[in-house]
Amino acid sequence: MNRTAIKDAKRIVIKIGSALLTNDGAGVDRDAVDDWVGQIAELISAGKEVVLVSSGAIAEGIARLGWAGRPDSIHDLQAAAAVGQMGLVQTYETSFLRFDRRTAQILLDHDDLASRQRYLNARGVLQTLMQLGVIPIVNENDTVVTDEIRFGDNDNLAALVANLIDADILVILTDKDGLYSANPDHDPMAKLVTEKQAVDESLDSLVGESTSGLGRGGMVTKLQAARMAASSGCSTMIAGGRNKNVLLDVCAGKHVGTLLTANEKPIAARKQWLAGQLQVKGSLVLDVGAVKVLVKHGRSLLPVGIVGVSGRFGRGDLVSCLDDKGNEVARGLVNYSAEEAIKICGQSSDTIADILGYRDHDEMIHRDNLVLN
């Protein structure tokens, strides 16, 4: 994705860091939040879908508790996160209400995205919220995590969210204008890196502590996040959050910040990841009609097209889709367990609720979670 293509980006993940959000730890900067929220509201009115990944809970909690500095104790940090999360959410809710926009709080940790079932749950709720016009505000669940709370991992969390929702672009707002050839605080000749491929190895020397003070400012994790996002086909923009109209300028394709590009489209990259990284837990045998729908038309797999079920798998597990001769035609993440699949195979989606007593999905495998052989 180049800058011109950014203008066509439909789904955007925006990450705002603690130092930026809390004015270097002084508590939530409400004026700054109002400014970013105004820009996000304008983007949504223009037809964009936005998920906001926001740090700042711990810093806000420290300020609310009147502590002089950041504590070392994990339990103190968790307590600060619990207190600060209230202020953070209230600030966003109040600010977005100025534009008649509703918000939702989503707290995640890495276990949520490592578990296939919880991954699908998180993906489903985020997609539903966006369809409803609600702005999801995602933060790491700092009240229960341990090691992550010590270092701050929301750059990588934002990249995981970008993968989760098939985002077109990840925008990381920081207190720097982007990635520089050297530390601009010390080197007046330092130049802004305007565009590189995220996998470009020359970037490593620009964020290392020995050659650039930006590494200590968090550029290392931002580069890691950009590469993680790129692996799922999402490009990343690193830009100065205090610059006027920065989000609007980024989404208009203007020459601001550092663009770290991905080489593949999000859906294609994600399906490649599904195909190669997960263990197959079972199989579904499809009738001729279902095979044709999958292979020739790229549609979702419905229960009515399934004639056989084997293996022990749960919701979110990877299964093979076989034709009547046992040849694998596709594989994907199932929305129902093996036990449930046996009950509803060959049946219309309209009857799922009558058979199971509930209906979470019409599809056995959604086309976004399906990769053809």
Write the pLDDT tens digit of every residue in 292-328: 999 988 899 999 999 999 999 998 888 999 999 999 9
What is the distance between the alpha carbons of residues 336 and 315, in angstroms, rounded to a whole number? 5
Residue 228 lies in a domain: yes
Confidence of residue 113 (pLDDT cuts 50, 70, 90): low
Q: What is the mean pLDDT of residues 173-178?
A: 90
Q: Given a cut of 50, is residue 168 above it in pLDDT?
A: yes
> The domain spanning residue 295 has which CATH number?
2.30.130.10
Task: Specify the pLDDT at position 224.
Answer: 87
Q: Within this chain, do residues 262 and 288 fall inside the same structural domain, yes or no?
A: no
Q: Given a cut of 50, is residue 142 above it in pLDDT?
A: yes
Q: What is the mean pLDDT of residues 232-257?
A: 94
pLDDT digits (tens, 9 = 90+) for 281-294: 999 999 999 999 99
Q: Within this chain, do residues 286 and 257 fall inside the same structural domain, yes or no?
A: no
Task: Specify the pLDDT at position 195.
Answer: 93
Q: Given a cut of 50, is residue 212 above it in pLDDT?
A: no
Q: Within this chain, do residues 282 and 207 fall inside the same structural domain, yes or no?
A: no
Residue 230 lies in a domain: yes
Q: Within this chain, do residues 256 and 288 fall inside the same structural domain, yes or no?
A: no
Residue, of 52 and 269, whose pLDDT is higher: 52
Q: Given a cut of 70, is residue 252 above it in pLDDT?
A: yes
Sequential DSSP letters for 239-282? EETTSTTHHHHHHTT-S-SEEEE-SS-HHHHHHHHHHHHS-EEE
Confidence of residue 269 (pLDDT cuts 50, 70, 90): low
What is the distance between the alpha carbons of residues 218 and 240, in angstroms, rounded to a whole number? 13
Q: Nearest Cα to 319, choosing from 346, 273, 284? A: 284
Q: Within this chain, do residues 205 and 313 fall inside the same structural domain, yes or no?
A: no
Task: Specify the pLDDT at position 68.
Answer: 85
Residue with tokens 């007046």: 188
Residue where one domain finishes, among candidates 210, 237, 268: 268
Q: Within this chain, do residues 144 and 96 fall inside the same structural domain, yes or no?
A: yes
Residue where one domain finishes, among candidates 268, 286, 313: 268
Residue 67 lies in a domain: yes
Q: Given a cut of 70, is residue 153 above it in pLDDT?
A: no
Residue 359 lies in a domain: yes
Q: Within this chain, do residues 39 and 154 fall inside the same structural domain, yes or no?
A: yes
Q: Given a cut of 80, is residue 116 above it in pLDDT?
A: no
Structural domain count of the chain: 2
Number of H helices, E strands in the chain: 16, 13
Taking a C-beta distance cutoff of 8 angstroms, is the pair 62, 80 a contact?
Answer: yes
Q: Given a cut of 60, is residue 45 above it in pLDDT?
A: yes
β-pairing, 306-311 vs 370-372, is: unpaired
Q: In what order do the strands lie in the sheet with 328-333?
A: 306-311, 280-286, 318-322, 328-333, 370-372
Q: Within this chain, do residues 260 and 285 fall inside the same structural domain, yes or no?
A: no
Q: Given a cut of 50, is residue 213 above it in pLDDT?
A: no
Q: Within this chain, do residues 129 and 249 fall inside the same structural domain, yes or no?
A: yes
Residue 273 lies in a domain: no
pLDDT digits (tens, 9 = 90+) for 331-369: 988 999 999 999 999 999 999 999 999 998 999 999 888
Task: Specify the pLDDT at position 268.
Answer: 62
DSSP H or E segment with residue 116: helix 116-131
Q: Within this chain, do residues 232 and 259 fall inside the same structural domain, yes or no?
A: yes
Can you give the residue range of the structural domain that contains 287? 278-372
Q: Within this chain, do residues 216 and 335 fall inside the same structural domain, yes or no?
A: no
Percent of the chain with pLDDT over 70: 87
Helix, strand, coil distribution of the chain in percent, nearest 5? 45, 20, 35
Average pLDDT, the chain: 86
Residue where one domain finishes, among candidates 268, 292, 319: 268
What is the distance between the alpha carbons of residues 275 and 123, in angstroms, rounded to a whole number? 18
What is the SS3 assignment for 309?
Answer: strand
